[in-house]
Amino acid sequence: MRIAVVNDYEVVVRGVAAMLADVESLEVVELLSGEPPSQPVDVVLYDAFGMHGLTSAELKEMLHTGDVGAVVLYTWQNATPLIEDARAAGMAGVIDRSTRGVELTDLLHRAHAGEFVVSAGADKPIDEWVTSADWPGKSKGLSAREAEVIGLITQGLSNDEIAQRIYVSINSVKTHIRSAYRTMGVTTRSQAVLWGVENGMAPQRLRIRLRDA
C-alpha cells in the first residue's frame, strides 16, 4: 500500500516514515509539509501535530482529489470530539500513535477499502508512549504537548483557538504554556513567538519523493 505522510514539520513526517518502514505491506512514497501528494497514493496519513485544523484548504484538496484513496488522521490523542470532526470532514478514520504492526496495517487497509476506522487506546496519556517519536522543540526539553502549543502560538493562534484545535480545556493550554515558557526561558508571548521561529516551530513547506508512481 502506497502511503504519503503529511504534517507541517519535517521532523514529524520523517519520524513517522521511520516508524512505518518496519511495517510490512506499507510503502511510504512521499513526505509532505504544506503540500498535497504529487502522485497517486492509497492512503494519506495526516499527522495532527500542530495541525491547521480539519477545514484547511490543503486537507480539502486531498479529500477531493482522485489521486488519494483515503485520508486518515494520525494523532497523539483521539478524543471523541476529534473523531466526530474527522468523520464529518470526510476523513477515513482516526489512528493514534500507539498503534503498531498488524493493527496499523489492518486499519489502513480497511480505511482504503472505504471503512471509517478508529484505533484502540483513545484515552492513553500522551507522554506515556510517544518517547520514540520526534517533534520540534524536543531537543530543547519541550514535551510533545508543550511543543504543539508553542507551535500554534508561533502560528499566531490565541489560547482559545489552541484549546479548540487540540481538544483540551483552556486551563490545560495555560498550564502547558507556563511549563513551556519555563523551559524556553521566556516570559512573554512575543518572546515565545521569536523563540518558536528560531527553533523550528514555524510551519514549513516540504516535498520529499521517496518513490515515484
Query: Residues 162-204: pLDDT tens digits?
Result: 998 888 899 999 999 999 999 999 999 999 999 999 999 988 8
User: 16-74: per-residue pLDDT in tens?
Assistant: 888 888 787 889 999 988 778 889 999 999 988 887 678 777 888 888 888 999 999 99
Ordered structural domains, the chain, with CATH? 2-125+203-209 (3.40.50.2300), 138-198 (1.10.10.10)
Q: Is 23 exposed, middle or buried (0-12, 13-18, 19+ CB in 10 A)?
A: middle
User: 2-25: per-residue pLDDT in tens?
Assistant: 999 998 888 888 888 888 887 878
Q: What 8-state DSSP symbol labels residue 141?
A: T
